[in-house]
Amino acid sequence: MAFDVEYARWLKGVAAKADIFHILSGMWKTPAERCFLWIGGFRSSELLKLLVNELEPLTEQQVMGIYNLQQSSQEAEDALSQGMDALQQSLAETLANGSPNSSASSGNVANYMGQMAVAMGKLGSLEGFLRQADNLRQQTLQQMLRILTTRQSARALLAISDYFSRLRALSSLWLARPRE
């Protein structure tokens, strides 16, 4: 099992290096799944909220553990989202800083290429955000499994699978809906 998870993470890393935009936008996912996509995957905090209702009865200690885990996941997600927002803002400013006289069409290729090199460097940091988000997802699931009993953990994993199956079904229904 651990080998499969590590192999999947390695494979996702290879795919991210090949085309980070494909991974971040989730082109392999259905439209409904993409609607809930966050940095190449799911938000751990949102799944934890859904699971609390699916796993009853929980002890008071388990409820507190899941609540604390949900809060810490939310804080980490917020920090990553703020970092992504800052990166997007910085990238937009880098692209906008070129004056009309510094575009490639006006002949100043060196300035244009320099600006594009800086922008490419900034885009390279997207892989780091994806890796951090994947690590957060993995750590959250591992901590959740430590809080729950074996039976509850199995039910939680089944509930997660069912949730994603329902999202795929929702996409199928949406795409197959009659259009006027």
Question: What is the C-alpha separation between 166 and 168, in angstroms, rounded?
Answer: 5
Tens digit of each residue's pLDDT (9 = 90 or more) over 132-160: 999 999 999 999 999 999 999 999 999 99
In a domain, 147, yes or no: yes
CA-nearest of 54, 37, 22 to 167 is 37
Q: Which pTM value belongs to this model?
A: 0.79
Answer whether residue 109 is part of any domain. Answer: no
**Residues in CB range of 51: below 8 A, 6 or more apart:** 66, 144, 156, 159, 160
Model pLDDT, residue 100: 53
Is 169 a domain residue?
no
Which domain, by its residues, includes 127?
A: 1-96+115-157
